[in-house]
Amino acid sequence: MSSKSRKALIGITTYGRQAALPFSLPSEYIDAVRAAGGIPILLPPGEIEPAILLDPLDGLIISGGGDIDPVCYNGFAHPTIYSVDAERDAFELQLAKFALERHLPILGICRGLQILIVTCGGTLIPHIGDVYGTSALHRLEPEPGRCLPTEHLVRIDIKSRLANCVQNSHISVVSLHHQAVDKVPPGWQVVAHAPDDGVIEAVEHEHHPWAIGVQWHPELSTLNPSHQRIFQALVQAAHTQQS
């Protein structure tokens, strides 16, 4: 089988080390890539030369997870910041940098969107509630230390690549975050907002062939064709990368 006809290899970053627990990733990411026709390759943090990992890949997904250390974007500590992992931060920031430089198709999901923004010099809002009054629209907190996903609407710029992917300008999404993009770095444009509070929900690169970040979790809604089309578009862009 020639390299141009094989299935696209899609790297997916995993969660970091949590005490003595193994590296892990929710199975929904893997299922979404397989359903889109790609082959998922898991990328645990810790490699000292992450660029090497990109050599066999046709596309990359930077997954969700805990918060980025605010030191990475000249931010400040906040009591709501959780699960900071310096090893994962360093790994994903370098991986994103190299993927963008190589024009490798890349999808950032939740934390992954924030990694893309921070990699390029942007900043984050440490806690949405401090700026928008509440974070309840974007995740549920039934009790201290416990967070649950929630569903809300997102409005997408009809002229964006993302709107072309999902084939809609308004979609219902599942999210689980308390941070959001603040300063958007050069080269990126905002292409979606939450209409109820204005929080930035998606960005895409202006010059890269295919680089999109979404603040929600499309892998949790793949039975909805609009969300699965994001993964299909990534895999299609990865096939184009092969040629």
Check 193, 219, 227, 239 and give the catalytic one. 219
Residue 219 is a catalytic residue:
yes
Pick the catalytic residue from 72, 92, 110, 138: 110
- Is 193 a known active-site residue? no
* Structure token digits, residue 70: 């605010």
Looking at 152, 205, 217, 227, which residue is catalytic? Answer: 217
- What positions carry a catalytic annotation? 110, 217, 219
